[in-house]
Structure formats: C-alpha cells, structure tokens
Chain A
Amino acid sequence: MLDLIIQASQLAFHPYVLMYVFLGVLLGITLGAIPGLSGDMAIALLLPFVFFLEPAMAMGLLVGIYKGGLFGGSISAISFGVPGTPGAAATSIDGYQAKLKGKPSKALHTALYSSVIGDTTSDLVLIFIAVPLAAIALTFGPIEFFALYAFSLILIAALSQGVVAKGLAVAAIGILLAMIGRDPITGAVRMTFGIPGLAGGLSLIPVLIGIFAISEVVFQGAKLWRRKVDKIMDDVANQASLLQGYDISKDKLTWAEFKFTLKATYIGAAVGTFIGALPGAGQSLAAFMSYGLAQRFSKRPEDFGKGSLEGIASAESGNSATAGSTFIPLFAFGIPGSATAALFGAAFILMGMTPGPSLLSDNTEIIYALFFTLIFANLVNLVLGKLLLPYYSRIAMIQPGYMIPAVFILAIIGTYAANNSTMDVWVLLFAGLLGITLKLLSFPLAPLVLGFIIGPGAERALRQSMIMGGGDWWVLVKSPIAIGFYIAAFVLILLFTLALRAKK
C-alpha cells in the first residue's frame, strides 16, 4: 500500500503534470467566467489531445479545467448576475445582490473558499467511500427519482422569497417551457407551434442566460435611460459615489464573516456530495437545494436573496461539492452521473481504461495519482483564484454604460457558441423578455429556472413509473425512499409556514 502511494504520488507530482494542472485551472476559471462557455465544453474540445498526452498529464489538464470551471462560473454570476455555468445559477441570486451593494470582493472570496471546501469534501468522499455510496445511488429508480424531483421543486418554490404561491406558479412556468419539444416517452414533437427549430426543446443555456442576464441588463439599461431623461441628481451622485468610493481594502472578507458562512458551506458540501453521487441529478439541483437548506438553518434567513454571504457560500459549495462525487457512479459502475463524468469516461476510454468495477484494480496507480491530482487541483484553484480575484472584482465595478453592452454581446456569443445554433439566440431573447415581464410583476426567477432544469427529469421519471406500474398512481408511494422524501417535503413546508407565522 505504501509503495503504491509513493508510486502514485511520483506520477501525480511530476513537474509536467503539475504544469498541466495549473494550465487547466487557469483555462477553466477563464472559460467558466465567460457566460455560455463552460469547463465541459473545453474538456470536449480537448478530448482528441488526450491521445497524445501521458495519462497523468491528461488527467491533470482535464481535472484542472473542470475545477477551475466550477469556480469560474461563479465569477460572472457575481460580477454580472450571469451564471457562467448552469451550476452557478443559484450563486448569482445572492452574489449579484452583494456586488450591487459594493461588496464584489467579499462575494467572490466567499465563493472561492466555499467552492474549494465543498470540492475537497467531495473528493475525500469519492476517495474513501466510493463503492458503498454508489450502491445507494443505484437503488434510485424512476419512482425514487420522481420523489426526489418533487421534493426539490416543492422545497425551492416554497422557500423562494417567502411567497409560496408565486414561487410555485413560476416553477410551473419553468416546467411548461421544458415540455416544449420531443415527448420523452412517445418521441412525438409537441408544443412547437410548427417551428422546426423547437423540435429538440429549448436549450438550457439560452434560457438561463436570458432569464438571469438579459432581463438584468435591460433593467439596468432602463434605469440608466430614466436617469438621463430625468436628470435626477441624487441618483447620479449615489451611483457615482458607489463607483468612485469603491475601495478594495474596505471590501475584504473578514475572518468573522468567513466563520459565519462556514455552516452554510458545510451544508452545501454535504448536500452537494450526496446529490452529485446520484446519477443525473446535477450541479444546479445541488446548488439550489443547498441554498434552500442553508436558508432554512441560517441565523439570518431574511438576508437570503439580498446579498447574503451565506447564500453565496451554500450555493457555491453545493455546486462544487458535486465535483468529486459525480465520479462515484462512474468509478464504481461505469455509469456517468453527469455530462462531465461522461466526458471523463470518454477520456478514460481513449486512454485505454474502461470505466467500471475493474477500473481501480486494473489501473490502480493512475487512479490513485488521479486522487492526488483531484486534491492538488483544489489547492491550485485556491491559489490562482486568490491571485486573480482582485482583477475580477475591479472588473465587476466597471461603469454600467460599458458593462451592459459587454454582457449583451457575451451572452449572445456564448449562447451561439454553445450549440452553434441561431435558434438558441432567439430563445435567449425570448427568455430575456419573459424574465423582464416576471421581474416587473415581482415574481422570483430562481424557481422558474429550477422548474426548467428538473422538469424533464421529473416528467420522465413520473411517466416511467406509471408505465412500470401499469398506470396505477399508487406505484408512486410503493418505495420507502420515495415516502421518505414526501414526508420530508411535507415536514419542511410545515416548519417553514409555522416559522413565518411566528415572525408575524
């Protein structure tokens, strides 16, 4: 065993491998920070080069990109209110509010630390309990998955900004939008109004960017315009003081603040690790669930949605904590639990290693080296992130006059680049319009995105359950795990309602 660890660490800490990890993290943070581009995309593009690299180097590069990308997504989420990756959607809720209040550096540092803590937790779990945890994940069939989806939807809708009816209504709109396209069971095209480009449904990225970014940009633009017309001097002075008075030394994250966010970070790390291990559940679900739970257990739940550092910590830690555990099903059973895991699976295959139960026993050295690399990449992420953050928080305070067109252009280019599709650009603009309308009517936007993300999975799981149960609705409560989720959802809603009443 000791021999093995020495050999693996020699592989993992070879200077070239370290160089590739650095390069990967740098690439990942930068790409993740650009809305629409993601670490996944970069990994896909680099797959062919995996042939020409030593496995340890290739792994270092890919792991670096992946981890950098997970954190990078939060940079644009905080700076521009644009989630750079789907996983960062929850981060943008509080992150962007904190930035608007002149605290971009605090927000970004909270995101970095919680991201690294969540990620490291998840990697340790992967390393030590990969096999037993994957066994739990496998017991999730359609019935259990539907219960999990229903549980998350109810929780998120109910917890968002306190207005349960509005939250549920918006989540329902999200599910409705997700139903456009191909019926998951019959394959028939539905709700496209004869537009061929909609046959595959609305893509996630334009919807996300449209809802979160375009609507925000237009709002900011409208505010600027009104200010120009009315020449309200007060407002201008305020804005100017916010921009000119920004002093990075006053925007340092204090030790006390960091300690205060730790609880939220741990909640995120636990939830993210668990959700990440479930095949198909994904980063955004983990982030939103952590966010909801952290708010529930927070000493200052009223700050959530208004720039709470805890909100950022929980979302970012939940998002990043899927990083290690998403490999659990891949390592133990050869089942990729997420798009990223699928890409890594492809890379393993290209390197002549078959994902599955024999992966570890056939390639012990390289997999242990990968474990070292996973942990080491977190350190690199921390160091590089820390070094780069001052620049990013300054970027975040650029005059809105420059920022608005820049975000608009980034959003359109990023959207087009993700799928090479002009249809997606139209979807982006439509989603932007929808976001603006809902904002004007003061609906929360996060449940819409969650409904959109988990809608297809929930529908599929429900209909698969019904097919397997021969059309009998009772099949949904025939699993103890499912019953557990329903009871938990009910109890949480009850607690939440009682807590609200007590406050009044």
Chain B
Amino acid sequence: MQIKRAKIATAVSAAFLTCAAGLATADSSPSLGNDPIRIVMPYGAGGSTDITARIIAANAAEHCGTRIDVVSMPGAGGMEGLQFVADATPNGHTILMADYSATITQTLTEETDWEVEDWSPIVHLTDWKPTVYVKADHEIQSIEEWIELAEAQPNSLVFGHADPLSLVHLPLVMLEMETGIQNVHLPTTGGGETRTMILGGHIDLGMTLPPSIVSNVNSGEVTAIGVFAEERSDVLPDVPTFKEAGYDVSFEAPLLVYTYSSVPESIQQELSECIMKGLETDTAQTMSAQASAGLNNVQGLESAQAIYRDTTARVSEVLAAINEE
C-alpha cells in the first residue's frame, strides 16, 4: 500500500511538472514550429503572382526552417482562398499572398466573414504600377492627347481594363474623377485579352501592369503613354507618370504577404524576417530579375502595414465616389 501511494505521488507530481513545463513554453512568446508552411494564392496557377510565390517557396524555406508549399485557390473569385486562411489554425503555417483586390476591394464590396483590418500584412514584396497603353499607330500617343480627345468627344473612346474594380480599373475611375473625362469602360478577362484587343485595333486604350507589355513596347507595336505611380517604372523608364503630366493621380498596387490577424505577433515577426532573408539571397534576386518579379526592394512588417493602411483609405475613397454616381 505504501509503495502504491508513493507511486501515485510520483505520478501526480510528474504530471504537475509536465503541465508546468508546458505552461512555461506557452508563456514565452509562441514561435513557428517545423510543420510545412502553406502560401495560399487566391489566383490560378501560372500567373505572375504564382511565379513570385514559388520564388518565396524556393528561397525562404531554409530560413523559415521548414518546407513551404504554394497552394493555388482561385475558387469563388479568390474568396475561397481567403476563407481557407481565415479558418486555419492561427499558428502562422497558413499564410496568404495577394494584391489589394481580394483583401481590400472585395472585402469592402462583398459580404465576407472578415473586415479589412483582419488581415495583417507582414511582407511588402513589390509595387505594381498600372500603365495605360495604346496601339503604336493610334492617333492618341500621349496622356495629353488622350485627355484632349476624351474632352472633345466624351464616351467615344473604348478602354479595356480586366475585371471591374480591379487594380487596373480603379486608377481609371480616379483619373476620370480628377479630370472629368468620360470613357467607355470595357471589362476583359485580363491583361492578355486587353492586349489582343489593342493589337487587333478593336479598342482604343488599355491598362495593364508593365511586365506584360514590355516586349510589345520595345518592339514598337504598342505605346505605353502613362504610369499611375509616384515614380516611373524600372522596366519602362521612358514612360512618364500621370503626375509628371500634371494630373495628381497615382495608384500603385502593393503585392503583400499576410497572416490572419489572430496569428500571434511574435510569429508574424518571425515569418516576416525569414521570408525577407530568403528573398535577399542572390538566388532569389536572380530568379526575380529573370521573371521581372520586381523583388529587389522587399520591405518588412512596418512598411507593409503602412502601405496597407494607405491603400485601404484610397480604395474606400474611390468606392465611395463610384457609389455616389
């Protein structure tokens, strides 16, 4: 009997010790474990975001101490991917990579289980600069000629711009607010279709992101007339910004990595640092340069959060203006 009691006592104290040890680790800030990390991308495979995600996966893995998988979830217009990340255990192993369309525009315009603030941006990968272009033999060859013609004949020019309210459509709305010009807005399936229509002479103007038209610009088939950005694009250095032309419209689209806000801050910090480290390596930079992914100035948590706040304010402003119409 004596022996039995002693055994129980030992067992109980051992159990207490284990619990205490457990509490001790839980007490210090939680950290990233060794399970694989999933980067969820709310787009189809093969696009430019896909390439960027795979550059992260290939280079950040060793710095984050675990394998990184890229998961493409284009379902429900990308909302399925966001839902998946929002529903995941908040341990930092399921993260999101997206531009602002999904996390800001769609969250503001559609019914979702989350608010804009529920997404915590941790890495600011690059800024895309929406660019307006025309066919090389079109009568419009500059920002000034466009505005002039649009003022003289409102609603005569057809403008192709991928999905409505997308990052290559909102800048057009802003410019129209600023200048009062009116164009016919033509939604297309994306940059590829817009470019086909421009090259085929079916529409007058189009908006896209620089990497997708660089080769057409260099070969003289199309003319990029203006960039909605603070500074000119690296890949299209000869194309002026709308600011240079005297129109105060700039709307760069940041590409961000997010965690859901319920993920502990220490894990957010850890993830942000290891992804940054991975992307600063030579291999990552070479890959980025080859793919024109623009990962040469990757910024951490603070910059990501600041740009996210800015962009939210800007998108809200444009959406409010559209709703007033």
| Residues in A lying within 8 Å of B, measured CB to CB | 40-41, 43-45, 47-48, 51, 138-142, 181-182, 184-187, 189, 196-200, 203, 279-280, 329, 333-336, 339, 342-343, 346, 349-352, 354-359, 419-421, 423-424, 460, 464, 467-468, 470
Q: CB of B254 within 8 A of chain A?
A: no
Interface CB pairs A-B, < 8 A, 5: A44-B46, A342-B46, A359-B215, A420-B73, A468-B203
If A342-B192, A419-B72, A467-B184 are given as contacts, then 18 extra A-B residue pairs at C-beta distance below 8 Å, sorted by A number, are A44-B45, A44-B46, A44-B50, A141-B200, A142-B197, A182-B77, A189-B110, A197-B80, A203-B75, A334-B195, A335-B199, A343-B45, A346-B48, A355-B215, A357-B215, A358-B218, A419-B74, A420-B71
Q: How large is the interface on B (under 10, 10 to 19, 20 to 34, 35 or more residues)?
A: 35 or more
CB pair A354–B75 under 8 Å, yes or no, is no
CB pair B200–A140 under 8 Å, yes or no, is yes
Q: Which residue of B lies closest to A139 (CB)?
A: B200
CB pair B290–A350 under 8 Å, yes or no, is yes
Once bound together, how far apart are the Cα atoms of A279 and B50, in whole Å? 22
CB pair B73–A185 under 8 Å, yes or no, is no
CB pair B192–A187 under 8 Å, yes or no, is no
CB pair B46–A346 under 8 Å, yes or no, is yes
CB pair B76–A423 under 8 Å, yes or no, is yes
Give the Cβ gap from A229 to chain B, nearest Cβ, in Å.
41
Give the Cβ gap from A338 to chain B, nearest Cβ, in Å.
10
Q: Which residue of A lies closest to B164 (CB)?
A: A187
CB pair B196–A279 under 8 Å, yes or no, is yes
CB pair B290–A351 under 8 Å, yes or no, is yes
Once bound together, how far apart are the Cα atoms of A382 and B226, in whole Å? 51
Taking a contact as CB atoms closer than 8 A, the residue among B54, B73, B111, B193 that contacts A196 in the complex is B111
Give the Cβ gap from A66 to chain B, nearest Cβ, in Å.
13
Q: CB of B292 within 8 A of chain A?
A: yes
Give the Cβ gap from A281 to chain B, nearest Cβ, in Å.
12
Q: Which residue of B lies closest to A424 (CB)?
A: B75
Q: Which residue of A lies closest to B79 (CB)?
A: A199
Taking a contact as CB atoms closer than 8 A, the residue among A51, A186, A470 that contacts B58 in the complex is A51
Nearest 7 Cβ contacts at the A-B interface: A141-B202, A44-B45, A356-B215, A200-B76, A187-B164, A199-B76, A200-B77
Once bound together, how far apart are the Cα atoms of A335 and B216, in whole Å? 10
Q: CB of B219 within 8 A of chain A?
A: yes
CB pair A187–B163 under 8 Å, yes or no, is yes
CB pair A280–B77 under 8 Å, yes or no, is no
Residues of chain A with a CB closer than 8 A to B111's CB: 196
Give the Cβ gap from B122 to chain A, nearest Cβ, in Å.
22
Once bound together, how far apart are the Cα atoms of A107 and B214, in whole Å? 47
Residue from A44, A203, A470 having most chain B Cβ neighbours under 10 A: A44
